[in-house]
Amino acid sequence: MSEFSAQWLGLREPVDHRSRNQDLQAQVINYLSQIKTVYPGSVRLTDLGSGTGSNLRALAPYIDSPQHWTLIDYDAALLDTARATLLAWADSEININILGAEVNSSSQIKPLSIIKQNKTIVVEFKCVDLNKDYRAILDEPADIITAAAFFDLVAEPWLTEFCAYLSKPLYTVLTYDGIEKWSPPEIIDIEILKAFHQHQRTDKGFGSALGPSASNRMQSLLQDRAFKVVCAHSPWVMNHCDRDLIEQLVIGSAKAVREIGTLSSLVVDEWEKNRRQSNNCEIGHVDLFAYKL
């Protein structure tokens, strides 16, 4: 299963949603309820690396104002899936022309307007290579930039430039922090994790990825740019009810470790065989909210 396939994203979505740090999310919701929005009466959110729209589905039900989301992803197929998934998730669809909403009609994927829990949500979809064109996206009107499970994929030079260019609030969740706890623990877990971290730092489309060090580096860079930064832990804590996700996580981790090649195939195969039967594990993540006072 591809790390970025719609199937993988769908499998992890329930765990992603319950793992988000609720105290930090409440701070973000409170912030959005108090600011003067760029378009009166509507909150505009730009979601980077949006995949199938999971971040929208997690956050939108808690925002009381009408919302305008712009979903940004490099993969047009994922954006197509996002549109279909959001339509299925919505209580109803409404004619976007009725709202008089400002949308980018040049997008190849038709915008939509939905009602969810009596909330109006307009959604645009943009297929963009953020490695090259993030500045144009950050220049567009938005009240906040959001992302989920994205920044551990980027390289330090890119992140440094991104943070230097960023002027809007940023709320990013589920950035991998490198902490993994398997139950019961085994000595080989340490070597597997070390090799996995090596793979996490390989090129994911932005150059050598920051991987587990991304959150700390982002916090430092944003603080240097006079942002107030709040971080909170958001680990996946999984049990027997999450066996399907655990199994796919193990398969993906073993594949990554084999690609690094520092451990014998017999050792990796044995670890994979054993861990596919695991009923308990914890995978560490960090949520971050940055804004200027």
d(CA 77, CA 62): 28
Tell me if 125 sits within 8 A of 51, measured CB to CB.
Answer: no
Q: Provide the pLDDT for residue 1.
A: 30
d(CA 16, CA 55): 9
CA distances from 121 to 51, 75, 113 (A): 18, 22, 6
Would the pLDDT of 226 be above 70? yes
Q: Provide the pLDDT for residue 106.
A: 52
- Name the band, by pLDDT with cuts 50, 70 and 90, for residue 292: very high
Mean residue pLDDT of the chain comes to 94
- Name the band, by pLDDT with cuts 50, 70 and 90, for residue 127: very high
CA distances from 235 to 25, 173, 227, 282, 284 (A): 14, 10, 24, 6, 4
How much is the average pLDDT of 212-223? 98
Enumerate the domain spans of the chain: 6-178+208-237+282-291
d(CA 85, CA 10): 10
How much is the average pLDDT of 141-162? 98
Who contacts 15 (Cβ-Cβ below 8 Å, separation ≥6)? Answer: 236, 238, 242, 245
Q: Provide the pLDDT for residue 5.
A: 84
Residue 95 or residue 272, greater confidence: 272
Per residue in 12-26, pLDDT tens?
999 999 999 999 999
Closest CA to 288 of 204, 166, 133: 166
Report the share of the chain in percent with pLDDT over 90: 92
Per residue in 37-56, pLDDT tens?
999 989 999 999 999 999 99
- Name the band, by pLDDT with cuts 50, 70 and 90, for residue 2: very low
CA distances from 37 to 41, 75, 168, 273 (A): 7, 29, 12, 52
Q: Where does 6-178+208-237+282-291 sit in CATH, by number? A: 3.40.50.150
Closest CA to 53 of 125, 107, 110: 125
d(CA 214, CA 229): 14
Lowest mean pLDDT among 93-107, 153-167, 183-197, 254-268: 93-107
